[in-house]
């Protein structure tokens, strides 16, 4: 072996060793065990090797230092195209906390108040009725006992629902009137073709305010505002509120006030042509999707695979130009972008020299806003009771012991329909993000990831 080749190999070994040593130093400076952090990837690799998830990116930061970032698996399983650090994901309901931050910006500026009636911004909601179902399944409508407020929208207590959280009477109305701002998350049966792929490339409304007005006019509420928690399209209605209060389209507001200041250049309501090669396939778990939408049983029952391809990256409607900016479910993002967003939150509203929100606004956003009687009255109470509550667009841990989960009191979090997750733990100065693309995932990814992350704390 020549001296030149030997020297290059020696340099490479020393370089890699120095990188590993620096990473270990950074982890220890952040109070994390490098040895335990190294177990995160291998421990979660079972989800890839057993075909449960197509691919997975996990990221952890503590005390302002990124202590873990790992990529494994595929963006396209069929063609064996690997995930990359900058792969783009449909984050679905992880759009909601971003909408929450946009709302808090306007509240700080005095342009919106939590107790404002939604009808101040969308007049059609002044005459919305409430459904009252009889024992025989028929229903009448009654007047609002109180106006729907901005807080009701932001905490899922407005009485609006999704088709998969609505009673059968309201679900029928949503489906008949096509009252959804999405491509195919809500009312999924309308969009499945014979091969199992989503066939639509358009949304039912031209923009979010047109959708919001139609929802107010054509569908009653499932219950009186403020009386129950019902997971809902209310977050999308907030997008219209933000447009009308700010005088900007929702996408422009997010870009100018959140994405550009935080350097979130990969977060948008569409995937531009120059980024299309970084997009990912969307898969679905037949077992998990059936729980959300029993109507899909006929379409998926013969598919014995753990994952079914439902939205190929090269045919996805996200490649088209967006006009309806749905703040409840519409964004695409990268792991590093969302990690920056989460880091801003754990820092109390700032990142570097950029301040998005005040510390007190983040505290208000991440405080539990649900009274016990509201939680107990909800059919969704199994998801938000027992040590957890709900803030402004985010879930909140009020008692880790009762919740039976790792973390601290005051941890806040949310996830997306394709099994993406994030959480912020202010007490531990810790944030974590996991990105994958599996609708209806039945796997305990968040539970496993949390256990591994918190087991790595070493101070």
pLDDT (0 to 100) of residue 182? 86
The tally of CA atoms less than 13 A away on the side-chain side of residue 174 is 25
H or E segment to which residue 390 belongs = strand 388-390
304 in a structural domain: yes
103 token code pair? 């709302």
273 in a structural domain: yes
189, pLDDT greater than 50: no
Length of the chain: 459
2 in a structural domain: no
Q: Which residues pair with 366 in a beta bridge?
A: none
pLDDT band with cut points at 50, 70 and 90 for residue 374: confident
pLDDT band with cut points at 50, 70 and 90 for residue 224: very high
pLDDT (0 to 100) of residue 19? 46
**Contact (CB, 8 A) for 330 and 241:** no
Nearest CA-CA partner of 180 in 192, 167, 194, 190: 190
pLDDT (0 to 100) of residue 301? 47
Average pLDDT over residues 436-458: 96
**Contact (CB, 8 A) for 410 and 403:** no
pLDDT (0 to 100) of residue 455? 98
- Lowest-confidence pick of 124-138, 200-214, 233-247: 200-214
295, pLDDT greater than 60: no
Q: Count how many domains the chain has.
A: 1
Any alpha helices (H) in 205-271, and if so which ranges? Answer: 208-218, 234-246, 250-254, 260-262
115 token code pair? 């107790």
pLDDT (0 to 100) of residue 159? 97
Q: Which residues of 216-248 are buried (b: 16+ CB within 10 A; e: fewer)?
A: beebbbbbbbbbbbbbbbbbbbbbbbbbbbbee
- pLDDT, one tens digit per residue, over 7-28 is 555 555 554 445 455 568 889 9
191, pLDDT greater than 50: no
45, pLDDT greater than 50: yes
Contacts of 35 (CB under 8 A, 6+ apart): none
H or E segment to which residue 354 belongs = strand 354-355
Q: Which residues pair with 309 in a beta bridge?
A: 283
pLDDT band with cut points at 50, 70 and 90 for residue 420: very high
pLDDT (0 to 100) of residue 202? 75
In degrees, rounded to 5, the angle at the alpha carbon of residue 266 between the alpha carbons of residues 445 and 444 is: 5
- pLDDT, one tens digit per residue, over 162-186 is 998 999 999 999 999 999 998 754 4
pLDDT (0 to 100) of residue 95? 98
109 in a structural domain: yes
More confident site: 320 or 1: 320
H or E segment to which residue 57 belongs = strand 55-62
Nearest CA-CA partner of 320 in 183, 178, 115: 183
303, pLDDT greater than 70: no
Q: What's CA 402's distance to the chain center, in Å?
A: 24
The interaxial angle of helices 95-108 and 335-346, nearest 10 deg, is: 40
The rounded distance, in Å, linking the Cα atoms of 390 and 373 is 13
pLDDT (0 to 100) of residue 308? 87
pLDDT (0 to 100) of residue 25? 81
CATH number at residue 82: 3.40.710.10
Secondary structure of residue 58 in the 3-state scheme: strand
**Contact (CB, 8 A) for 368 and 389:** yes
- Lowest-confidence pick of 24-28, 209-213, 419-423: 24-28
What's the mean pLDDT when you consider all of the chain?
Answer: 89
**Contact (CB, 8 A) for 166 and 380:** no
348, pLDDT greater than 90: yes
pLDDT (0 to 100) of residue 16? 46
- Lowest-confidence pick of 12-21, 117-126, 233-242, 384-393: 12-21
216 in a structural domain: yes
Determine the structural domain holding residue 305 and report its residue range. Answer: 55-454
The interaxial angle of helices 95-108 and 234-246, nearest 10 deg, is: 40
The rounded distance, in Å, linking the Cα atoms of 107 and 299 is 45
As to burial, measured by CB atoms within 10 angstroms (0-12 exposed, 13-18 middle, 19+ buried), residue 337 is buried
pLDDT (0 to 100) of residue 306? 73
70, pLDDT greater than 80: yes
Q: What is the DSSP letter of 352?
A: T
Give Dmax over CA atoms of the chain in angstroms: 88
More confident site: 250 or 192: 250
Residue 408: count of CB within 10 angstroms of its CB: 13
The rounded distance, in Å, linking the Cα atoms of 68 and 65 is 9
Share of the chain above pLDDT 70, in %: 85
DSSP-derived pairing of the beta strands 430-435 and 438-439: unpaired
Match 């290059």 to its residue by tokens. 8
257, pLDDT greater than 70: yes
233 in a structural domain: yes
Is pTM beyond 0.75 here?
A: yes
Average pLDDT over residues 112-126: 98
Share of the chain above pLDDT 90, in %: 78
199, pLDDT greater than 50: no
The rounded distance, in Å, linking the Cα atoms of 308 and 305 is 7
């Amino acid at each position: 072996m020549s001296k030149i080749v030997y020297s290059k190999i020696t340099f490479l070994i020393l370089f890699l060793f120095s990188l590993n040593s620096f990473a270990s130093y950074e982890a220890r400076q952040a109070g994390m065990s490098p040895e335990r952090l190294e177990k995160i990837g291998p421990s979660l690799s079972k989800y890839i090797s057993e075909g449960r998830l197509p691919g997975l990116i996990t990221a952890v930061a503590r005390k302002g230092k990124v202590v873990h970032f790992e990529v494994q698996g595929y963006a396209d399983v069929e063609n064996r195209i690997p995930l990359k650090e900058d792969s783009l994901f449909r984050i679905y309901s992880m759009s909601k906390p971003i909408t929450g931050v946009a709302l808090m910006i306007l509240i700080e500026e005095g342009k919106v108040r939590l107790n404002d009636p939604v009808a101040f911004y969308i007049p059609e909601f002044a005459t919305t009725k409430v459904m009252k179902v009889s024992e025989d399944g028929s229903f009448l409508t009654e007047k609002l006992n109180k106006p729907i407020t901005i807080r009701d929208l932001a905490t899922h207590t407005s009485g609006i629902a999704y088709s998969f959280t609505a009673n059968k009477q309201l679900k029928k109305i949503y489906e008949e009137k096509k009252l959804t701002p999405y491509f195919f998350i809500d009312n999924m049966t309308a969009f499945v073709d014979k091969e199992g792929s989503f066939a639509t490339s358009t949304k039912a409304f031209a923009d979010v305010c047109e959708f919001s007005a139609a929802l107010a006019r054509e569908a009653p509420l499932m219950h009186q505002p403020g009386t129950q928690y019902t997971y809902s399209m209310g977050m999308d209605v907030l997008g219209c509120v933000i447009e009308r209060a700010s005088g900007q389209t929702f996408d422009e507001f997010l870009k100018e006030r959140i994405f550009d200041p935080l350097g979130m250049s990969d977060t948008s309501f569409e995937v531009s042509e120059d980024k299309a090669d970084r997009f990912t396939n969307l898969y679905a778990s037949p077992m998990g999707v059936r729980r959300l939408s029993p109507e899909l049983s006929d379409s998926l029952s013969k598919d014995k695979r753990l994952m079914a391809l439902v939205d190929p990256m090269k045919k996805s409607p996200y490649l088209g130009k967006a006009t309806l900016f749905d703040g409840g479910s519409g964004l695409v993002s990268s792991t590093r972008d969302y990690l920056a967003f989460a880091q801003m939150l754990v820092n109390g509203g700032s990142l570097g020299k950029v301040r998005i929100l005040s510390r007190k606004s983040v505290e208000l956003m991440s405080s539990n806003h649900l009274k016990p009687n509201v939680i107990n009255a909800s059919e969704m109470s199994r998801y938000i009771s027992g040590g957890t509550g709900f803030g402004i667009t985010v879930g909140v841990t009020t008692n880790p012991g009762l919740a039976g989960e790792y973390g601290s009191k005051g941890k806040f979090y949310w996830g997306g329909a394709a099994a993406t997750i994030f959480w912020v733990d202010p007490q531990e100065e810790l944030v974590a993000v996991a990105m994958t693309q599996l609708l209806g995932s039945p796997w305990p990814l968040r539970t496993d990831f949390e256990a591994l992350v918190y087991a790595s704390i070493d101070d």
